[in-house]
Amino acid sequence: MDLQAAQIRIEQLKEWIAKHDFLYYVKDNPQISDQEYDQLMQELIQLEGNFPELLTVDSPTQRVGGEPLPFFEKVEHSSPMLSLGNAFNVDDLRDFDRRVKQHVGEHSVKYVCELKIDGLAVSLRYEAGMFVQGATRGDGSIGEDITLNLRTIRSLPLKLTEPRTIEVRGEAFMPKPAFEKINRLRAEQGEALFANPRNVAAGSLRQLDPKLAAARELDIFLYGVGSLEGEHVDSHSEALDYLETLGFKVNPKRRLFASMEEVIEFVEAWTLKRSELPYEIDGLVVKVDSFAQQQELGSTARSPRWAVAYKFPAEEAVTVLEDIEVSV
Ligand code: NAD
């Protein structure tokens, strides 16, 4: 492909991705599958890699998420809430491992492996142990204040076991049984069915009336710390254990591994048994455990270099919804 053809294709991809970002992040009503979206994004990443002179700062490959909705108060995150680089097969995971080791210059890297919950990324702020503010990821720097809606999630502690000032990050989601129940009720009442639990969770948390979120039986897993005053932890695995002692719900399926080959075995096992879970996952997240190594690796504008999201293959997808009107 020559430069001119690449430019035309890049413009087309940017336009499509911008349209689907709007439908997904702002409308909570995507019209293509995540796998189709990921293919568009991968093609754009590849073309920008081959023609770096065509890379612009407004490219979706350089940005996180969508715009915050104007009718919510805006919240500035204490540190950016980034996206994650993707791995689509085990070779991508091995490449990630090689890049990490090249960068940190040593061969003992431990990895934490977590389920990638398919919901809405949120940030929770506690002052002296009390829940004071919750926000969406938004564009990564500025999110929407959805405190009142988050307070309706029963598993979200309103008070911690210690009087800590802390900002934690996690994924709010709708468990499968709650999703099935809500669609059964809607079917009985002749209402349009919801497309998938992710969109209902995201749509419910971005409603102006908290009663609506309260009726939706949402849940939350916490998986990271944005900022923490007065406690010293050296690794991601310790941080997750500490979040648990504070009273947060942390996914129990997480595991710490000493090699990428063990990570790959874990990833392959979950690829086969993901449907057994009572909530939806779209992959697994692999993170360098040591905070010192994470700091050395740093981040790009869009994602940390110390983590990667392994996405399940397309044939696992069940997103065909013909003859059903879909709404949130
Ligand atoms: P991402 O989904 O690839 O990964 C980042 C997100 O993973 C985080 O923000 C967090 O919300 C989530 N996550 C879940 N469990 C986690 C854990 N244990 N640790 C860390 N993070 C965890 O990136 P993204 O920027 O949120 O979204 C991009 C993805 O969204 C696309 O790859 C696609 O799947 C989907 N999307 C789909 C459409 C569509 O039209 N179908 C449009 C836009 C985006």
Angle (CA) 257-103-243 rounded to 5° is: 45
CA–CA distance, 304 with 78 (Å, rounded to integer): 16
Whole-angstrom CA distances from 108 to 85, 111, 326 are 22, 10, 48
SS3 233: coil
Whole-angstrom CA distances from 42 to 13, 107, 123, 204, 242 are 10, 29, 28, 30, 36
pLDDT band per the 50, 70, 90 thresholds, residue 315: low
Q: What is the pLDDT of residues 230-261, one digit of tens each?
A: 778 999 999 999 999 999 999 999 999 999 99
What's this model's pTM, rounded to 2 decimal places?
0.92
Residue ranges covered by each domain of the chain: 3-62, 74-316
- Going by C-beta distance under 8 Å and a sequence separation of 6 or more, which residues neighbour residue 250? 221, 222, 223, 240, 241, 243, 244
ipTM > 0.90 (yes/no)? yes
Report the pLDDT averaged over residues 2-16.
95
Mean pLDDT, all residues of the chain: 91
Q: What is the pLDDT of residues 116-172, one digit of tens each?
A: 999 999 999 999 999 999 999 999 999 999 999 999 999 999 999 999 999 999 999
Report the pLDDT averaged over residues 26-53.
93
Q: For ligand 1, atom 34, name the residue with the nearest CA.
A: 34
43 is in an annotated binding site: no
**Annotated catalytic residue, options 101, 116, 176, 253:** 116
Does residue 210 register a pLDDT over 60?
yes
Task: Compute, in angstroms, the gap from residue 2 CA to the centroid of ligand 1.
Answer: 32
Does residue 54 register a pLDDT over 70?
yes
The superfamily CATH assigns to domain 3-62 is Helix hairpin bin (1.10.287.610)
What is the atom index within ligand 1 of the atom nearest the CA of 33? 41
Does residue 57 register a pLDDT over 90?
no
Is 116 annotated as catalytic? yes
pLDDT number for residue 324: 38
- Where do we find the tokens 């490219």? 59
* Ligand 1, CB within 6 Å, residue ranges: 20-21, 23-24, 30, 32-34, 37-38, 64-65, 83-84, 86, 114, 116-117, 121, 137, 171, 223, 285, 309
Q: What is the pLDDT of residues 275-292, one digit of tens each?
A: 999 999 999 999 999 999
CA–CA distance, 290 with 103 (Å, rounded to integer): 14
CA–CA distance, 304 with 313 (Å, rounded to integer): 23
What is the atom index within ligand 1 of the atom nearest the CA of 121? 11
The superfamily CATH assigns to domain 74-316 is DNA ligase/mRNA capping enzyme (3.30.470.30)
Q: Which of 38, 285, 288, 320 to mutate to test the pocket of ligand 1 (most atoms within 8 A of CB)?
A: 285
11 is in an annotated binding site: no
Task: Compute, in angstroms, the gap from residue 83 CA to the centroid of ligand 1.
Answer: 7
Report the pLDDT averaged over residues 30-43.
93
Does residue 222 register a pLDDT over 50?
yes
